[in-house]
Structure 1
Amino acid sequence: MDLRLALKNQKILRNEMDHRVKNSLQSVASLVRVYKSRARPGVDMTEAFDAIGRRIEATAALHELLHDSPLENAVSLDAFLGHIAQLLEDSAPPGVRVHCEAGAVAIPTSTASAIAVIVSEFVANSIKHAFSDGQPGEIWIKGSGQVEGGLEILCEDNGGAAKRPEPAPGSVSGLGKRIMAASAAQIGAHLENGPTETGYRMSVSLPA
């Protein structure tokens, strides 16, 4: 009986991973098409390639944690966000630290995937607008479950209180903002961002 149950659970996990791989590859392909549509002669597409790379790395991290997770079709928020934060710090300029603090909350893989996109785009934006001149800085990523069963993600940097420039709607930079909004809408989350006394902050609230 235990063997049959183990085999059944293994099959369920494999099916979920196959489904997740398919969806993730479709997501990456869709992102490539979106950026391709904005490609023009003389336009620097470095940001586009960086965004695609972040999406692939986040997808790989999700698959790795899903494979090792004892949860069914879910991962632990602290492990997942911690992994994403480490990937982002590894690719950040020297002197930029990415800190993570999150609770051990089980979240569906679809929610984790969307959160990874939002967090990655926030960090990329901070690096570009707050720390692009080589100055050291810190970025914090915090995640916690709410008493009523919801989820909240907070991202903040200390890159200065100056207002961040708004990218042109049709530009490559502007797509990052649209992708964040679309990812939040995908999981029914409310996204807010704006300047603080020392930098910039974003909050993502997901109701129960």
Structure 2
Amino acid sequence: MPESTEKAAFFPIYLQPGAGRDELPYRLRQQSLLGDFGRAALQTRELDQLLQRAAELCADGLRTRFAQVLEFVPGENRLVGRAGVGWEPDRIADMAFETDVGSPAGYAYKTRQPVITNQLPSEARFKTPQLFTDHGVIRSINVLIERGGEGQDYFGVLEVASADPGWFDQADADFLAAFAGLLGIAIERQQADARLADALEHQSLLTREMSHRVKNSLASVVGLLRVQSRGAQSDEVRAALQEASSRVDTIAQVHDNLARGSRIGFIDFADFIDDFCGRLQANANGNQLRCRAEPMLLLADHGIPLGLLINELVTNAIKHAYPDRCGVIELSACALGDRLHVEVADQGVGLPDGFDINAPRSSLGFKVIRGLVRQLRGRLQLLANNPGARFLIDLPIVPAADPPSAAAR
């Protein structure tokens, strides 16, 4: 559009660039809005909200009623409305412009240049869109939105329009171009975040699927061991096979918890303890299991040895604590600073006289317990409990920083 002094003289004075406004506050306001949008872009994770905010701030900065963000749709070769302000609500979703020279937005996209027009009704470069005619629009600015500001990949067009007399000048176009630059970087970040989220979700699905398959495979092993146990000829072999199936079942439970967990690579320890006690209660020989654990997330690498360790201690109490009657076996777990304390206690016959927890033993169960404690770099202590026995496992296991709430479980 010609902007010489001679051309401007043919128009009323309020149509000349900058006329009728205090230029310095006007430009300072635009700079302030750019800062506002920069902060909003860092805080907003929803793309639609970001695009709508961009349209609102651009209209504010250029003192216009109308603004819109148009996205290029490759498959349709069109610019379609994603957000807008000032237009009739039902018209925003229906906005569509061909990417040719038939409209100001299409012209800007086609030529890759900003388009300023202050006389739409007499414009010779393109036709006035019906949307503009319906809203009385007589002037507009269109600038490209470069995705990431690289000048190679274009998201679409940022457009402001006005039905009021006045004049858009090059400084207005520069403001809108700066805004489009910020918007393009924000869009690229949003889309990169979305791609990362999709990749993480895919990884999550793969991990959960793997844990689910491992759990099913271990469940098959448990079934085979139990079948062999029922067919064993001696009580010793039968007991050994039953203990082996219990250990494999514990590992399967950890993988099941991994598949259902809220975070990849972690187990919800409270959920695991609930499931664990529910499974053991069915084979507790009439004893009552009371289990409680604080909600916490533990690394999967800790989950399997810890689960096996608890399984050995509880199973040992079920077998030996109450030889002539049934009783209560308690399991509790809590985080104390950067350590995890797990207690298994009963009120049964207690341990043999002179029992030394650190003495070498021939029992496979106690060998497994000692080996797992060493693997977790913890300590196994025998606490006073009269009557009965009380074992404390003190482990340097740090729970995750954001354990799930009870409601989430």
Sort the TM-score into its range (normalised by shorter chain).
0.7 to 0.9
Q: Does 1:93 align with 2:297?
A: no
Matches within 5 A, 1:101-140: 101-133=292-324, 135-140=325-330
Letter paired with 1:117: L
SS in 1 for 2:366: helix
TM-score, scaled to structure 1: 0.77
Q: Which residue is equivalent to 1:146? A: 336
Pairing 1:160–2:349 present: yes
- Name the counterpart of 2:403: none
Q: Compared with structure 1, are the counterparts of its residues 13 and 157 closer, same or farther at alpha carbon in structure 2 (3 Å cutoff)? A: farther
Q: Does structure 1 conserve the Cα–Cα contact (< 8 Å) formed by 2:322 and 2:349?
A: no
Distance 1:13 1:180 in 2: 34
User: 1:73 and 1:139, CA in 2 relative to 1: closer, same or farther beyond 3 A?
Assistant: same
1:160 is displaced (CA, Å) by 2.7
Q: Does the alignment pair 1:6 with 2:6?
A: no
Q: Which residue of 2 aligns with 1:37?
A: none
- In 2, the alpha carbon distance for the partners of 1:199 and 1:11 equals 47
Task: Look up the SS of the partner of 1:78 in the other structure.
Answer: helix
Counterpart secondary structure, 1:163: coil
Query: Deviation at 1:71?
Result: 1.4
Structure 2 equivalent of residue 72 of structure 1: 264
Greater than 3 Å deviation, 4+ residue runs:
1-4, 15-22, 164-170
CA contact (8 A) 2:211 2:258 kept: no
RMSD: 3.1
Letter in 1 for 2:310: V
Which residue identity is paired with 1:190?
R
**Helix, strand or coil at the partner of 1:142:** strand
Q: Is the 8 A contact 2:348 2:389 kept in 1?
A: yes
The CA deviation at 1:98 is 0.8
Partner of 1:203: 392
TM-score (norm 2): 0.41
Q: State percent identity of aligned pairs.
A: 20
Cα deviation per residue 1:87-128 (whole Å; 9 max; x = unaligned)? 11111112x011111101111112121121111111221122
Contact 1:80 1:112 in 2 (8 A): no
In the TM superposition, residue 6 of structure 1 has moved relative to its aligned partner by 3.5
Larger radius of gyration: 2
Question: 2 CA distance for matches of 1:78 and 1:19?
Answer: 19
Partner of 2:28: none
Change (3 A) 1:17 1:159: farther
The answer on whether the counterparts of 1:160 and 1:198 sit within 8 Å (CA) in structure 2 is yes
Are 2:368 and 1:176 equivalent residues in the alignment? Answer: no
Contact in 1 for aligned 2:329/2:345 (Cα 8 Å): yes
Gaps of 5+ in 1: 33-40
- Secondary structure of the corresponding residue to residue 131 of structure 1: coil
What SS is found at the alignment partner of 2:330? strand
Distance 1:42 1:92, change over 3 A: closer
Change (3 A) 1:101 1:19: closer
SS in 2 for 1:203: strand
- Cα distance, 1:68 vs. partner? 1.2
Query: C-alpha separation between the residues in 2 aligned to 1:202 and 1:7?
Result: 44
Is the Cα contact below 8 Å between 1:143 and 1:154 reproduced in 2? yes
- CA-CA distance at 1:141 after TM superposition: 0.6
Q: Number of residues paired by the alignment?
A: 188
Which one of the candidate residues 243, 247, 252 is aligned to 1:55? 247
Maintained 8 Å contact 1:161/1:195: no
Letter in 1 for 2:239: E
Q: Deviations over 1:158-189 (max 9, x none)?
A: 1134527799944xxx0100101111111111
- The one-letter code sitting in structure 1 at the alignment partner of 2:389 is Y
Q: Which runs of 5+ in 2 are unaligned?
A: 1-190, 226-232, 399-409
Q: What is the rounded CA distance, in whole Å, between the counterparts of 2:251 and 2:319 in structure 1?
A: 23
Deviation at 1:143, TM superposition (A): 0.5
